[in-house]
Amino acid sequence: MTNHFSTVLNSQQYEAATTLEGPLLIIAGAGSGKTRVITHRISTLINSGIPLSSILAVTFTNKAAREMMGRIRLFNQRKKLNDLTVCTFHALGLKILIKFGDLLGFKRNFSIYDQTDKQSLIKELIRELNLESESTDTWQISALFSAIKTSLKSWNEDIQQYRALFNEYNTRLKLLNVVDFDDLIVLPVKLFDSFPDSLSYYQNKFQHIMVDEFQDTSSRQYELIKLLAVEHRSICVVGDDDQSIYSWRGASIENIAKFERDFPERLEIKLEQNYRSMRNILIAANSLIANNKNRKRKELWTKGGDGDHIQIFFPEDERQEADFIADHIHSLAIRQRIPLNQFGVLVRTNNLMRILEEAFRRENLPYRVSGGLSFFQRKEVKDIIAYLRVLANPDDNTNLLRIINTPRRGIGKKALESIIETAEKNSCSHFSAIALIAEKEQTAINEKMRESIGSFYNLINQYREKILSGRKMAPVLQSLVEIIEYRAFLFQEYQKSATAKLKYDYNVLGLIESLAYYENDPDNLEPGLFNYLNMISLANQEDSTEENDQHKINLMTIHASKGLEFEVVFIAAVEKDIIPHIRSQESGEMNIEEERRLFYVALTRAMSKLYLSAAATRKKHGKVIETEPSPFIAELPEELLRIQEKEVPVTPDQADRYFDDLKKLLPVKPRFDTYWPKSTVLANFLADLIG
């Protein structure tokens, strides 16, 4: 098989895929066949007799991990690949904590807090510590804590006042038996520092390591991977400094330099041949990114043809823009028979997606969105998950507070106060306090309150027992949702927006379904509540539901498009203050380069057709704002651009004439005498057909 590679890989790719010893740095330009190289390399490792269990491949998203696994399976159909580890950094951190977390004082059933949980906890602590006088923007504080944990920031003068809160936050996490996202990376490093045996366990286990999207690893992630690799030094990292778009999350191009320093004996391979885009698109992308000073020199080239010009469209407003995109997709899909899943519509921010969705729905174009709020983060889904979390780990105060009166069960402000007070007095969790109240050990409380609290206590206990019994969990959850009358609660809560209610119903049932799917999956070796909750903490929508649908347009943020490619790409709202985003310009020069890289990533997703649009006005917070085109447009070579005229619909007279001509071509006389094409698309299609 190894020799077979040489015919499908170019010489650089071949060298990258077959160099199995020692550190390897692959600088892989956009569309240079990076994923192919990685999967080939893993297959080569496998075929050379290296045990699967000693191979670790780290990817950036779950989706990428799944795709990679799929491709490896294609190459190795005969083999069972269960022992192969292909996962994200966070999933790796989780695995490590599950195995050795007890050394750091975590119980087995720890749960993972996402941003929302984290912010609620911070809010709660601010209340407890009476810090309300300080700036209590939990959003900012949460970001600060992340920056501190990942060593992006250190305690300087102006943030000293949050130090106590930060310490309390961490103490509390441990008390609640909970970790946050940053902990998944930071704690394993800490573990390895304090317990060398755990480190050598993993150093011996993972003797061959690969890291994809290396330009987007954070310094802490790099630290983790370096610890693992430093002994056997068989580490291969693949990345492209021009596509580094996650510096706000701690990613740093510096890591490439660090890698060069830490592994001086490395071999470096550059992949510069692009197999994805037509030449015009590539030249435009090259000329844009050349404006960045801070980069490794590299120039993508292609053997492919020039292809079309890059089309630019300047609609009046965002509605016209959306219609333009929808019309064009429709028309290209029909005239050139391009399947809908070959269209990518990219935007800078999530809120730009809605108007496009509406246009697609108007034109009856099926679409799929990725990025944006994950299924598991929707409010009603989170509510039900909060129940599961409490069942799994009753000490999880944050989630307990979330569900204790949702749906309302008469445990209001007063009752909550006495619960929290009792908890403080006995220095125990809220749930234990509830137990004390329910079992009448805590006397000073009114009976009606005790009754409400008591029945909640019984509910949790009863269902905790049921769901941990080892029998199927989904029916238990189903019955829980029914017994708390969650459906009625949603109906009441959302009676104003009629569509919401259906949607919500769908989401809640979707969650139960997802649980059923999870526990009935034969490939799932260790089902169980804890594993399920961990899984969904790290997963997002695409990971759980619909797979690559053949007939859907892909609508997503530019960030979410990384690693993907489409025959036709539309980039919407290529406007000043959106690309580059206004908030990125607030702090410093470097950010404009990242925004440029982001636009570069967007451009290089396109294979043969690329459309940019910039509306003259755009509604923002209900107000119409005048906009300007993005300054990045001026960085593209002018001769490669075409300003797109609006498609003029044919007049009814013309349409009639076309239809008459068309009738003459038909062997049978149609039953209709006139035809009145209403949509531009149809009319133009008709015109096209007749010539």
Site residues (vs DNA, CB under 7 A): 60-62, 88-91, 114-115, 137-140, 181, 245, 248-249, 348-351, 371-372, 374, 379, 405, 408-415, 449, 492, 538, 540, 557, 559-560, 581, 583-584, 619, 621-622
Nearer to DNA, 269 or 352 (CB): 352
- Residue 425's contacts (CB-CB under 8 Å, 6 or more residues apart) are none
Task: Tell me the torsion sign for CA atoms 622, 349, 151, 530.
Answer: positive
* CB 550 to DNA: min, Å: 23
Shortest Å, Cβ 597 to DNA = 11
When the beta carbons of 459 and 641 are compared against DNA, the nearer one is 459
Shorter beta-carbon distance to DNA: residue 249 or 335: 249
- Characterize the bridge pairing of strands 208-211 and 55-59: parallel
Contact 407, 488 (CB under 8 A): yes
By beta-carbon proximity to DNA, the closer residue of 217 and 608 is 217
Contact 274, 301 (CB under 8 A): yes
688 belongs to the catalytic site: no
Instruction: Give CA–CA dist 197/195, Å, rounded.
Output: 5
What contacts 217, CB < 8 A, 6 or more positions away?
Answer: 89, 211, 225, 251, 255
The CA-based dihedral angle spanning residues 534, 554, 523, 111, taken in that order and rounded to the nearest 10 degrees: 0
Q: Kindly name the residue from 44, 88, 243, 398 that is annotated as catalytic.
A: 243
Q: By C-beta, is 231 or 493 nearer to DNA?
A: 493
Between 279 and 501, name the residue whose CB sits nearer to DNA.
Answer: 501
Q: What are 28's two structure tokens?
A: 């892989």
Tokens of 672: 């209709």
What does DSSP assign to residue 565? -
**Least spacing, CB of residue 583 vs DNA, in Å:** 4
Examine the residue annotation and report whether 422 is marked as an active-site residue of this protein.
no
C-alpha 291/C-alpha 303 separation (Å) is 24
For the CA atoms of 347, 351, 357, 358, the dihedral, rounded to the nearest 10 degrees, stands at -130
Amino acid type, 202 = Y
C-alpha 145/C-alpha 172 separation (Å) is 14
- As a residue count, the chain comes to 691
**Bridge partners, residue 236, by sequence:** 24, 210
| Cβ-based nearer residue to DNA, 139 or 155 | 139
- Terminal CA-CA length for the chain: 51
Concatenated DSSP letters for 136-172?
A: --HHHHHHHHHHHHTTSS---GGGGGGHHHHHHHHHH
Smallest gap, in angstroms, from Cβ of residue 487 to DNA? Answer: 15
Nearer to DNA, 17 or 173 (CB): 173
Q: Point out the catalytic residue in the list 605, 609, 618, 627.
A: 605
- In this structure, the strands spanning 617-620 and 623-626 are antiparallel
Select which of 168, 180, 183, 212 is catalytic.
212
Minimal distance, residue 414 CB to DNA, in Å: 4
CB-CB contact of 285 with 603 (8 Å)? yes
**Residue 34 is among the residues annotated as catalytic for this protein:** yes
Active site residue: 12, 13, 18, 34, which one? 34
Please say which residue, 585 or 654, places its beta carbon nearer to DNA.
585
Q: Across-strand partners of 346?
A: 556, 571
* Secondary structure of 406-445 in HEC code, one letter for each residue: CCCCCCCHHHHHHHHHHHHHCCCCHHHHHHHHHCCCCCCC
Query: With respect to DNA, which residue has the nearer C-beta, 253 or 655?
Result: 253
CB of 11 to DNA, least distance (A): 33
Q: Which of 19, 35, 116, 377 is catalytic?
A: 35
- Token look-up 């070959």 returns 342
Is 605 one of the annotated active-site residues of the chain?
A: yes
Q: Which is nearer to DNA, 5 or 89 (CB)?
A: 89
CA distance 545 to 376: 11
**Shortest separation between residue 665's beta carbon and DNA, angstroms:** 47
Question: What is the distance between the alpha carbons of residues 287 and 644, in angstroms, rounded to a whole number?
Answer: 21
Task: Quote the CA–CA distance of 350 and 344 in Å, as a whole number.
Answer: 15
Query: Among this protein's residues, is 213 annotated catalytic?
Result: yes
Min separation Cβ 485 and DNA, Å: 12
- State the Cα–Cα distance between residues 584 and 119, nearest whole angstrom: 23
Q: Tell me the closest approach of the beta carbon of residue 197 to DNA, in angstroms.
A: 27
C-alpha span between 627 and 630 (Å, rounded)? 9
In whole angstroms, what is the distance from residue 622 CA to residue 611 CA?
27
Cβ distance 415 to 452 under 8 Å? yes
The answer to whether 46 and 55 are in contact (CB under 8 A) is: yes
Q: Work out how close the CB of 342 gets to DNA at its nearest, in angstroms, rounded to a whole number.
A: 21
Q: Which of 67, 117, 213, 396 is catalytic?
A: 213
Which pair of structure tokens corresponds to residue 562? 């990384």
For DNA, the closer CB: 94 or 435: 94
- Rounded to a whole number of angstroms, the minimum distance from the CB of residue 375 to DNA is 11
Instruction: Judge contact between 40 and 2, C-beta under 8 A.
Output: no
Annotated catalytic residue 243: yes
Measured distance CA(551)–CA(561) in Å, rounded: 18
Q: Is the peptide bond before 631 cis (omega within 30 degrees of 0)?
A: no
Least distance (Å) from DNA to the CB of residue 581?
A: 4
Catalytic residue set:
34-35, 212-213, 243, 605
